[in-house]
Amino acid sequence: MREYMDEVASRYYGRPITEAELTRYVAEEPGADLVPPTGAFLVGYRDDDVAGCAGTRVVTPGVTELTKVFVKPAHRGSGLAPRLVAAAEDAARTLGSALMRLDTRHDLVEARALYAKIGYDEVEPFNDGQFAEHWFAKALS
């Protein structure tokens, strides 16, 4: 989670974040709801190395949010990101969801390309999050 927060915050601010900022961002980041029955947090491995993660959280009955999709730089291009998202979709179905949705930032072009490639459609805004600039959804049926 620290590596995820370091990368997305550094990209957002256009500079490396400080250790104090990173510690604060990780502490502020909600995550208690990323466990059953309100969500799931998945960790992807390659050759016994933690290589990435993805999370889901139930937003409303039948709707789950995809969050924290991250693959470490050394493992990018390996196909892990689509597998993590597919596993998150399976977890969402287990939680009773029929719809997965997410928001992302404009500068996360790789993420937006991934979501479009794996069947997510850009939709009208469904929240007003500070970092939400693009919204996507996918039916899980």
pLDDT digits (tens, 9 = 90+) for 27-42: 877 666 778 888 999 9
What's this model's pTM, rounded to 2 decimal places?
0.89
Could you tell me the CA-to-CA distances from 106 to 15, 84, 88 in Å, in that order?
17, 22, 23
Q: What is residue 17's DSSP assignment? A: P
Ordered structural domains, the chain, with CATH: 1-30 (no CATH), 32-139 (3.40.630.30)
Q: Is the pLDDT of residue 74 over 80?
A: yes
* Residues paired with 128 in a beta bridge: none
* Residues paired with 46 in a beta bridge: 49
CA-closest candidate to residue 57, choices 25, 6, 102: 102
SS3 24: helix
Report the mean per-residue pLDDT for the chain: 92
pLDDT digits (tens, 9 = 90+) for 11-68: 888 999 999 999 888 887 766 677 888 899 999 999 899 999 999 999 999 999 999 9
